[in-house]
Amino acid sequence: MKVATFIEPGHMTVTDAPVPTIQKDTDAIIKIVRACVCGSDLWWFRGISPRESGSFGGHEAIGIVQEVGSAVTSVQPGDFVIAPFTHGCGYCAACKAGFDGNCMNMESGGNAGYQGEYLRFTNAQWALVKVPGQPSDYTDEQLNSLLALSDVMATGYHAAKSAEVKEGDTVVVVGDGAVGLCGVIGARLLGASRIIAMSRHADRQALAREFGATDIVEERGDEAIARVMELTDGAGADAVLECVGTEQSIDTAVAICRPGAVMGRVGVPHKPEMDTNSLFWKNIGLRGGIASVTTYDRDRLLDAVLNDEIHPGKVFNQRFSLDDIQSAYEAMDTRAAIKSLVIVTE
Amino acid sequence: MKVATFIEPGHMTVTDAPVPTIQKDTDAIIKIVRACVCGSDLWWFRGISPRESGSFGGHEAIGIVQEVGSAVTSVQPGDFVIAPFTHGCGYCAACKAGFDGNCMNMESGGNAGYQGEYLRFTNAQWALVKVPGQPSDYTDEQLNSLLALSDVMATGYHAAKSAEVKEGDTVVVVGDGAVGLCGVIGARLLGASRIIAMSRHADRQALAREFGATDIVEERGDEAIARVMELTDGAGADAVLECVGTEQSIDTAVAICRPGAVMGRVGVPHKPEMDTNSLFWKNIGLRGGIASVTTYDRDRLLDAVLNDEIHPGKVFNQRFSLDDIQSAYEAMDTRAAIKSLVIVTE
């Protein structure tokens, strides 16, 4: 089978690999229909974090169940599924508390190569999200929105949930990448009445507004802080979604919190050391981490896509064939694409 | 009037000072009945943080309103009140959101010398908490519990609120000082079904149990972590109240959080720098700071004391006259007292 493979920083290619097979009774083999490239993949694509040469790429996909292990009864061959990047067992304390991204029974091995023709998916019984019907029942845009439920939309929603957005809140979203834009959708779903999106790119600003942003702040750093304080009559935001992870974005997020506000962060922190006094003396909360994809998809997001309430698939503004995987990464790397779609099976 | 005065580290005395007068129309003058010494006062008593020689001590008291500014209509001379250490205006964004400890209209000046005969209290209109009747209507223990509502009980409750304790939770309270013990009460008020108190002192363990603790962990550091993990079947706690503020206590608190748990901290952080990766990768929340004394007293705590539902005054296990203020501090410093009561007016 064909699968996207990392050669060295800046270089992805498609290699031929054996089709994966069931290794554990909780596995499923998924025939991938669509996959995509994640902003977090740029870390190793750019050589900032290490990655083994020859490893397979991707962690987001939709596809068709090809085969299941003997313990998997929730889906069967032929089912259309979302393949989340998370693999919750559904019964540990973390999964039960709604944090399946931190499942305490994570299965090692498997889950390599969502950007490929077939995938061995672990903990398939609970973690896979079944979609009614078949891919052919959906429009191109709907397929993209379903694909977004494998990570980016759930991650944006996690930022909003972590920031404890509630009805009537004034929310600031820091970051106009695909996750930040999905954070805008998440904040709207949770009832925010005002959503201030930080963005300086016209296409992303337009999408943010389409997703529910009421205000755009183009400034950065101290000027961005001043602008948000002006927009909130000096109070700061009730909730802040930090969807970048750089030191500057985190500092900005803290500074624009109203006393007692919670910052929900989903951007992998580039600089984990933080002076938490800035939080303590203003009672600012810091929450967030890995999204609970299966929990959120089942609770709310899948229905919201199926009911045409949300359209997160619009973040895919460039599409590529699997054979052209290098261009899909490059488009993300240069920020030409908000998010690169990878068509695996037409 | 007599007032407790800081001379130098390790040395408090009572000096004679002019009775304070109304300076702003939002002030009140309070004749103090009972005051106390706070664990946070030990920072400067021990010379760890700086303090100006000659400054007046204390920030917790109950008393009688003596005089009010022209804008103060909520209380009148003769009223029995709790004088919180916080001074919320009641109408700024922070106060409205329930974070009056971070009031954005804090009045500078005033509020010095709760351990004294008279106090000028700022933002009196909203911040003072009126108590029905007169001190003579209450038992000695009830007076102490009302006094606890000026800080320590509200602060313990803030730890539990910040940790987002909910019905049925397994909660760990790190710290067996007066705040930690009040945190046990707070966790119980919020419905925790299991409360694990970390303590190695028999008298504090007994009080923790009386306040609602179901388990005691005597170990510290890695052994404490192992013990909590054992008690929670390897899951960790649903909520952790961090009531100390040292590096070790914060590290312990993080390590015993179940994925997705929130740590509510009220101990002033001794080492504010923190590696927040340990939070991010387990979705652990960090909240807390200065308590919302007036909000909590009005919402729930005053009723709970008046209805005999909670008895936070039991943390005062040693009492002193104002003249003996040095001994009151020393008893806290040596941990002979859980909390020192200071009788100002018999």
CB contact under 8 A, A288 and B284: no
Comparing CB atoms, the residue among A232, A284, A289 nearest residue B280 is A289
Distance CA B178, CA B317 (A): 10
Inter-CA distances, B203 with A196, B207, B220, B336, Å: 52, 6, 18, 10
User: Looking at CA atoms only, how far is residue B126 from chain A in angstroms?
Assistant: 18
A315: which 2 tokens? 């973040």
Task: Collect all residues of chain B within an 8 Å Cβ-Cβ radius of residue A279.
Answer: 286, 289
CB contact under 8 A, B283 and A102: yes
Task: Collect all residues of chain A within an 8 Å Cβ-Cβ radius of residue B285.
Answer: 162, 262, 285-287
* ipTM of this complex: 0.95
Whose CA is closest to A325, among A343, A304, A308? A343
- Answer whether A125's CB lies under 8 Å from A24's CB: no
A145: which 2 tokens? 């929105």
- Candidates A164, A268, A279: best to mutate against B (most CBs of B within 10 A) is A279
Distance CA B335, CA A81 (A): 61
CB contact under 8 A, B234 and A104: yes
CB contact under 8 A, A287 and B262: yes
Inter-CA distances, B216 with A159, B181, B197, B235, B297, Å: 36, 12, 5, 18, 28
pLDDT category, B169, cuts 50, 70, 90?
A: very high
**A·B CB contacts under 8 A:** 130
Coil, strand or helix at B32: strand
Q: Where are the beta strands (DSSP E) in chain A?
A: 2-8, 11-16, 28-36, 61-68, 80-83, 118-121, 129-131, 170-174, 194-198, 215-217, 237-242, 257-265, 273-275, 285-288, 316-321, 339-343
pLDDT score at A107 = 86
Q: Which residues pair with A14 in a beta bridge?
A: A4
Comparing CB atoms, the residue among A261, A282, A289 nearest residue B281 is A289
Place of tokens 């037409």: A346
| Residue in A with minimal Cα distance to B233 | A93
pLDDT score at A270 = 83
Task: Collect all residues of chain A within an 8 Å Cβ-Cβ radius of residue B236.
Answer: 93
Coil, strand or helix at A184: helix
| Residue in B with minimal Cα distance to A282 | B102
pLDDT score at B110 = 86
| Residue in B with minimal Cα distance to A264 | B285
Residues of chain A with pLDDT under 50: none
Whose CA is closest to A165, among A232, A239, A256, A235? A239
Coil, strand or helix at B237: strand
- Answer whether A42's CB lies under 8 Å from A7's CB: no
Distance CA A41, CA B262 (A): 29
- CA pseudo-torsion sign A137, A142, A145, A147: positive
CA atoms within 13 A on the CB side of A330: 9
B146: which 2 tokens? 């009302």
CB contact under 8 A, B272 and A277: yes
pLDDT score at B156 = 98
- What does the pLDDT look like over B84-118, one tens digit per residue? 999 999 999 999 999 999 999 998 878 999 999 99
Coil, strand or helix at B304: helix
**Cβ-based burial of A167 (10 A; exposed 0-12, middle 13-18, buried ≥19):** exposed
Distance CA B22, CA B286 (A): 40
- What does the pLDDT look like over B201-217, one tens digit per residue? 999 999 999 999 999 99
Instruction: Give the type of residue at B328.
Output: A
What separation, in Å, do the N-terminal and C-terminal C-alpha atoms of chain B show?
15
Which residues neighbour B281 within 8 Å (Cβ) at sequence distance 6 or greater?
Answer: A102, A289, A290
**Residue A327, H or E segment:** helix A325-333
A143: which 2 tokens? 């397929």
What backbone phi and psi angles, to 5 degrees, belong to A148? -60, -25
Average pLDDT of chain B is 97
- What does the pLDDT look like over B93-102, one tens digit per residue? 999 999 999 9
Coil, strand or helix at A102: helix
B270 vs B313: which has the higher pLDDT: B313
Inter-CA distances, A148 with A67, A141, A314, B281, Å: 24, 11, 9, 22
Task: Collect all residues of chain A within an 8 Å Cβ-Cβ radius of residue B276.
Answer: 269, 272-274, 276, 286
Which residues neighbour B288 within 8 Å (Cβ) at sequence distance 6 or greater?
Answer: A280, A283, B158, B159, B162, B163, B242, B263, B264, B265, B266
Task: Collect all residues of chain A within an 8 Å Cβ-Cβ radius of residue B282.
Answer: 102, 289
- What does the pLDDT look like over B296-326, one tens digit per residue? 999 999 999 999 999 999 999 999 999 999 9
- Answer whether A270's CB lies under 8 Å from A247's CB: yes
| Residue in A with minimal Cα distance to B245 | A280
- What does the pLDDT look like over B281-298, one tens digit per residue? 999 999 999 999 999 999
Q: Which contacts of A208-214 are long-range, i.e. CB under 8 A and separated by 24 or more positions?
A: A208/A173, A208/A176, A208/A180, A208/A181, A208/A184, A210/A314, A211/A181, A211/A182, A211/A184, A211/A185, A211/A311, A211/A314, A212/A184, A212/A185, A212/A187, A212/A188, A213/A173, A213/A184
CB contact under 8 A, B101 and A235: no
Instruction: Give the type of residue at B162.
Output: S
CB contact under 8 A, A283 and B236: no
Task: Collect all residues of chain A within an 8 Å Cβ-Cβ radius of residue B261.
Answer: 97
Does the structure show a pLDDT above 90 at B346?
A: no
Which residues neighbour A336 within 8 Å (Cβ) at sequence distance 6 or greater?
Answer: A318, A330
Residues of chain B in Cβ contact (below 8 Å) with chain A: 92-94, 97-99, 101-102, 104, 162, 232-236, 238, 258-262, 265, 268-269, 272-277, 279-290
The distance of Cα A181 from the centroid of its chain, to the nearest Å, equals 10
User: Looking at CA atoms only, how far is residue B147 from chain A in angstroms?
Assistant: 24
Query: Rg (Cα) of chain A, in Å, rounded?
Result: 20
Whose CA is closest to A35, among A330, A326, A334, A316? A316
pLDDT score at B293 = 98
CB contact under 8 A, A286 and B287: yes
Does the structure show a pLDDT above 90 at B268?
A: no
CA atoms within 13 A on the CB side of A182: 34
- What does the pLDDT look like over A247-276, one tens digit per residue? 999 999 999 999 999 999 998 888 888 989
- Answer whether A339's CB lies under 8 Å from A37's CB: yes
Distance CA B18, CA B209 (A): 45
Residue B236, sorted as left (phi over 0), alpha (psi -120 to 50) or beta, turns out to be: left
CB contact under 8 A, B282 and A102: yes
CB contact under 8 A, A290 and B274: no
Distance CA A6, CA A120 (A): 18
> How many CB atoms within 10 Å of residue B326?
17
Domains within chain A, CATH numbers bracketed: 2-151+292-343 (3.90.180.10), 154-288 (3.40.50.720)
| Residue in B with minimal Cα distance to A237 | B93
Write out the DSSP string of B157-199. HHHHHHTT--TT-EEEEE--SHHHHHHHHHHHHTT-SEEEEE-
User: Looking at CA atoms only, how far is residue B95 from chain A in angstroms?
Assistant: 9
Whose CA is closest to B293, among B119, B24, B81? B81
Residues of chain A in Cβ contact (below 8 Å) with chain B: 92-94, 97-99, 101-102, 104, 162, 232-236, 238, 258-262, 265, 268-269, 272-277, 279-290
What separation, in Å, do the N-terminal and C-terminal C-alpha atoms of chain A show?
15
Task: Collect all residues of chain A within an 8 Å Cβ-Cβ radius of residue B92.
Answer: 235
CB contact under 8 A, A234 and B268: no
What backbone phi and psi angles, to 5 degrees, belong to B307? -90, 5
Which residues neighbour B11 within 8 Å (Cβ) at sequence distance 6 or greater?
Answer: B326
Helical ranges in B27-84 per DSSP H: 42-45
pLDDT score at A220 = 92
- Candidates B100, B256, B287: best to mutate against A (most CBs of A within 10 A) is B287
Task: Collect all residues of chain A within an 8 Å Cβ-Cβ radius of residue B105.
Answer: none
Task: Collect all residues of chain B within an 8 Å Cβ-Cβ radius of residue A242.
Answer: none
Task: Collect all residues of chain B within an 8 Å Cβ-Cβ radius of residue A275.
Answer: 272-273
CB contact under 8 A, B280 and A288: yes
Question: Please, what is the Cα angle at B144 between B140 and B147, to 5 degrees?
Answer: 140
